[in-house]
Structure 1
Amino acid sequence: MAMLSTVRRSIVFSIPLAKHSLSSSSSFPLFSSSSSSSPPPQSSDENLVSATVTILKHHRSKSRWSEILSLAPPNSSGFTPSHVSQIILQLRNTPHLALRFFNFTIHHSICSHSLSSYATIIHILSRSRLKSQSLQLIKSAIRKFPDSANPSPNPPRIFEILVKTYRTCDSAPFVFDLLIKAYMDSKKIDLSVQIVRILASKNIFPHVVVCNSLIELIAKSRGPFAAYDMYKEIFNGKEVKGVMENAYTFDILMLAFHREGVVEKVEDVWKEMMAKNCSPNVYSYSVLMAAYCEDERMENAMKVWEDMGDKGLKHDIVAYNTIIGGFCKVGEVDRAEEFYRDMVFNGVECTCVTLEHLINGHCMSGKVDAALVLYKDMCRKGFNPESSTIDVLAEVICDKSGVFKALEFVRAVIKKHDVAPRKTTYELLIRRLCMEGWMEEALKLQVEMLGKGYAPNFEIYSSFIDGYVKQGDDIKAEALRNEMLSKIPCKDS
């Protein structure tokens, strides 16, 4: 297990978070120059705007679009972005109609849109909580008006335009949540963080769901320590404008550290959650249990299990799979079976993972018959075993009943579940065939292996060389040894 002291802390962000007050101020301005931004300038052709709005609001839906085309036919000057923005603003109380008009102008090429016209429709949709439509347009605007590829200290242009048009459109901060999500969906972490930091400098924070998504994305792409830094930076240990970390925030951090094998940090995050008086959920307990089970600290895992019950939380399938897998890993398969029976008694449906844990546990204990009973149970329930489970079963069958029984089992599994055996499965069977002197059968299996796209490696060559040496066929052994050295100069890493 990697110790905390050996894990290097990574520097992720180079732009410092501006110091800011965490008072619950209700003002929204992000930039002092934009706090009193004026509406877009009126078009010189006010009649065009007025006539279009009248057609959209009062004419029949079937005729309105042809009449709009007659006002601004394609390949003419058509509507300007300013025209479109003014029309959409007058349709703010009918956002679906505003969106249809905007899409109509794109489809019929009657407006060469700008970021401002995109910002207007995005605001109108966001203030009406039309999340998916607004998010889609934000992503379209980002693609249509890309910022410079080079990192820039300046905010993205779409962010600046959304800020400038915010008050004119009577928008809601929700629009910036969507902008951050759009950049996260595009895996543009630095831009997402930059926007969060600019908002934070004005004491404005995204919804906790967006904050959690950002922390999770950073954990997956840059590691748990970077995610923890982002968590501390966003929440800063205080409640800000109703935004406060929740159990899912801590779940993300604990899971990230657990996947890196840093159990000490999993415990630290758990303690921090307790200190914040944040009630853990069932998944929180399961992650902590999993960390202890992975570290083979089953006594600690049992304390967590019991604490769940004391808190009145029902053990779900994730919790059961975790504790069953933990006992199987340390060779206490009888304890694992006790929890399995308890799970069935409490009406919790098992999963393929449950049975695979138990199969692995029985195989580790050499109980091949019990493992095969569980495998048959798995088949009856319609589960498909993982390749690793097939390998484990094949190996114990080899030990108890011989390699041909194992080969027969693997063939049956492949046919029943329509799965392709792994390279490791072939390696196991070929090695055992060579050990027992069945060289012709091993060669046939190796040909099949080649047909599946698996090239022979050091283990395969070594199995054949040892087999031929054991049979006294030094010529074939030497030929294979030379072939191996020409193709594989050193053992596979």
Structure 2
Amino acid sequence: MAVQILKHIIFSVSKPKPKPQLLSQFSTSSSTPPSDQSHNLIATVVSLLTHHRSKSRWNHLLSLCRSGLTPTQFSQIALGLKNNPHLALHFFSFTQHKSLCKHSLSSYATIIHILSRARLIGPARDVIRVALRSPENDPKLKLFEVLVKTYRECGSAPFVFDLLIKCCLEVKNIEKIETCVDIVRMLMSRGLSVKVSTCNALIWEVSRGKGVISGYEIYREVFGLDSDATAGIGKDVKRVVRVRPNVHTFNALMVGFYREGAFEKVEDVWVEMARLGCEPDCYSYSVLMAVFCEERRMREAEKLWEEMRDKNVEHDVVAYNTIIGGFCEIGEMPRAEEFFREMGLSGVESSSVTFEHLVNGYCRAGDVDSAILVYNDMCRKGFEPEGSTIEVLIGELCDKRRVFEALDILKARVVKFGLFPTEKSYMFLIKGLCEEGKMEEALKVQAEMVGKGFEPSLEIYSSFIDGYMKEGNVEMATMLRKEMFENQVRQADG
């Protein structure tokens, strides 16, 4: 339905020509001609703002426009200032601050065009955001319609539609995303293509909101890669594609497929990127390398690493973290350490992720002493550990019956970083303390755990019961068994 509305908008305001160029076919009529009195006011204001340099001109403007300005009058004045876009913007801001004009979509469109043609991107986007929130912008395509109608009169450039699309995408709303898709299709139906960065943003948001398969379909469409050259825009319209995908296009697709676990599709996109003659960058390599690491194909990951070196693609922190994490995952800590040392020698600063990988890797390998050394180094460098990393380290220490070291680590992280411990961290500590017969300490940890909002699990009850039984406190063990049973019944009834 939206596509039909847009087709009606564009074709109803166009005048067919043998060789249409860009948006020159759009209507030049955006408002009714001003009356003589209004025309005199417009001319006077334009002259005042253009030729008077003193600050008093703004006070003079207030006295001239005691009754305010209509949106049409504002648009005509702004058009008289379009060769001085900064002044036009100042005038627009002045009318807002002094409530001189109750702006409409038409007056917003005028200043948007003026700012866009001058490449004043930030201010143009600010006005577009305001216009998108206007009650007038209903239905959802209304602002696009008005921009189309006022396009030629304002001497605008297609770039204005890139800004509109990107502002709509900022909302991260499915309806707005679909509106952007419709706008791109309608522009393409007139032989226009938005910038590749806009296409990439559209692909990214469609993938995020509707799934990467939908994002891939949009990619095929906007870059003219469908077998049907008119897919999505109507059989009677010839489409001209003026942009080609770049490395960021393929990165967006690969990341989308990677996040959804479609690893084979990541490799397919990589092949397609090569087929279309697009050279991968470091981020591209890192995504494919992450796939190889996830699938434990570390020899292929290393080959990719060497390919980067052969092609003079510098390894950045993401690339190093990816391959270090891959080796840590399979327990090949010597290789992980080799890349870690190379990282330092290459002048690439390690990040918290680097240390997280190494700590987790050493814990998986059962080398808790090395894990603690890396962990201490991490803390000295000022990196804040994730709760999941603390959990793994505490679990490994408790398994090695070094529960008080684990307890010290938890306390230190809570004090220094305000860490919110995980439920498993508490469980490991309580179980370890109970196994060592430190029941008072275990009760303190359990009290802190409850204070954090965690309910004692069956495993924690079992740990306390076993601990009390070991020290011969049958009465306490019996009471806990009864309490555990009552909690089970309560949870079942709830």
Q: TM-score scaled by structure 1?
A: 0.87
2:22 is matched with 28
3-state SS, counterpart of residue 400 of structure 2: helix
- Once the two structures are superposed, residues 407-442 of structure 1 have per-residue CA deviations (whole angstroms, 9 ceiling, x without a partner) of 122222323334232222112212322344433322
- How much has 1:116 moved relative to structure 2? 1.0
Q: State the one-letter code of the partner of 1:176.
A: F
3-state SS, counterpart of residue 347 of structure 2: coil
Distance in structure 1 (CA, Å) of the matches to 2:469 and 2:289: 49
3-state SS, counterpart of residue 165 of structure 2: helix
Q: Is the 8 A contact 1:468 1:476 kept in 2?
A: no
Q: 2:174 matched to 1:184?
A: no
Q: 2:26 matched to 1:38?
A: no
Q: Where do 1:251-400 residues align within 5 Å? A: 251-400=251-400
2:70 is matched with 80
2:231 is matched with none
Distance in structure 2 (CA, Å) of the matches to 1:326 and 1:172: 48
- How much has 1:287 moved relative to structure 2? 0.4
Residues 1:14 and 1:360: Cα distance change in structure 2 (over 3 Å): farther
3-state SS, counterpart of residue 55 of structure 2: helix
Distance in structure 1 (CA, Å) of the matches to 2:313 and 2:259: 24
Q: 2:130 matched to 1:140?
A: yes
Q: State the one-letter code of the partner of 1:81.
A: P
Higher mean alpha-carbon deviation, 211-220 vs 341-350, is at: 341-350
Residues 1:345 and 1:102: Cα distance change in structure 2 (over 3 Å): closer
Q: State the one-letter code of the partner of 2:343.
A: M
Q: State the one-letter code of the partner of 1:340.
A: F
Q: Is the 8 A contact 2:116 2:159 kept in 1?
A: yes
Of 98, 105, 129, the residue aligned with 2:95 is 105
- Once the two structures are superposed, residues 378-411 of structure 1 have per-residue CA deviations (whole angstroms, 9 ceiling, x without a partner) of 1221211111111111122222243222112222
Q: State the one-letter code of the partner of 2:43.
A: S
- How much has 1:146 moved relative to structure 2? 4.6
Greater relative contact order (Cα < 8 A, sep 6+): 1
Residues 1:48 and 1:29: Cα distance change in structure 2 (over 3 Å): same
- How much has 1:81 moved relative to structure 2? 1.2
- How much has 1:459 moved relative to structure 2? 4.2
Q: Where do 1:150-229 residues align within 5 Å? A: 156-187=141-172, 188-229=176-217
Of 461, 474, 479, the residue aligned with 1:476 is 479
Distance in structure 1 (CA, Å) of the matches to 2:466 and 2:478: 12
Q: 2:64 matched to 1:71?
A: yes
Q: State the one-letter code of the partner of 2:22.
A: F
- Once the two structures are superposed, residues 135-169 of structure 1 have per-residue CA deviations (whole angstroms, 9 ceiling, x without a partner) of 11111111123544xxx7xx611111100110000
Residues 1:61 and 1:26: Cα distance change in structure 2 (over 3 Å): farther
1:96 is matched with 86
2:425 is matched with 425
Residues 1:315 and 1:164: Cα distance change in structure 2 (over 3 Å): same
Higher mean alpha-carbon deviation, 459-468 vs 193-202, is at: 459-468
Residues 1:475 and 1:350: Cα distance change in structure 2 (over 3 Å): same
Distance in structure 2 (CA, Å) of the matches to 1:171 and 1:183: 19
Q: 2:108 matched to 1:118?
A: yes
Q: State the one-letter code of the partner of 1:268.
A: D
- Once the two structures are superposed, residues 191-223 of structure 1 have per-residue CA deviations (whole angstroms, 9 ceiling, x without a partner) of 111211211222212111111111111222222
Q: State the one-letter code of the partner of 1:484.
A: N
- How much has 1:469 moved relative to structure 2? 5.9
Q: State the one-letter code of the partner of 1:40.
A: S
Distance in structure 2 (CA, Å) of the matches to 1:113 and 1:318: 47
- How much has 1:479 moved relative to structure 2? 1.9
1:406 is matched with 406
Of 220, 225, 228, the residue aligned with 1:232 is 220
Q: Is the 8 A contact 2:116 2:160 kept in 1?
A: yes
- How much has 1:357 moved relative to structure 2? 1.0
Structure 1 runs, 4 residues or longer, greater than 4 Å off? 13-18, 238-241, 465-474
Residues 1:418 and 1:104: Cα distance change in structure 2 (over 3 Å): same
- How much has 1:63 moved relative to structure 2? 1.0
Higher mean alpha-carbon deviation, 407-416 vs 352-361, is at: 407-416
3-state SS, counterpart of residue 382 of structure 1: coil
1:127 is matched with 117
Higher mean alpha-carbon deviation, 239-248 vs 258-267, is at: 239-248
1:489 is matched with 492
Q: State the one-letter code of the partner of 2:326.
A: G
Report how many residues are paired.
Answer: 462
- Once the two structures are superposed, residues 349-390 of structure 1 have per-residue CA deviations (whole angstroms, 9 ceiling, x without a partner) of 222211221111111111111111111211221211111111
- How much has 1:489 moved relative to structure 2? 2.7
Residues 1:442 and 1:180: Cα distance change in structure 2 (over 3 Å): same
- Once the two structures are superposed, residues 253-310 of structure 1 have per-residue CA deviations (whole angstroms, 9 ceiling, x without a partner) of 1111111221111111111111111000011001000011011111221221121122
Q: Is the 8 A contact 1:461 1:484 kept in 2?
A: no
Distance in structure 1 (CA, Å) of the matches to 2:3 and 2:89: 37
Q: Is the 8 A contact 2:131 2:137 kept in 1?
A: no
Distance in structure 2 (CA, Å) of the matches to 1:251 and 1:373: 36
1:22 is matched with none
Residues 1:431 and 1:200: Cα distance change in structure 2 (over 3 Å): farther
Higher mean alpha-carbon deviation, 465-474 vs 166-175, is at: 465-474
Distance in structure 2 (CA, Å) of the matches to 1:142 and 1:35: 22
Q: 2:54 matched to 1:61?
A: yes
Gaps of 5+ in 1: 1-12, 19-24
- How much has 1:329 moved relative to structure 2? 0.2
- Once the two structures are superposed, residues 329-352 of structure 1 have per-residue CA deviations (whole angstroms, 9 ceiling, x without a partner) of 011111111111222222222222
- How much has 1:464 moved relative to structure 2? 3.6
Distance in structure 1 (CA, Å) of the matches to 2:466 and 2:486: 14
- How much has 1:465 moved relative to structure 2? 4.7
3-state SS, counterpart of residue 28 of structure 2: coil
Q: State the one-letter code of the partner of 2:265.
A: K
- How much has 1:35 moved relative to structure 2? 2.9
Q: Is the 8 A contact 1:118 1:137 kept in 2?
A: yes
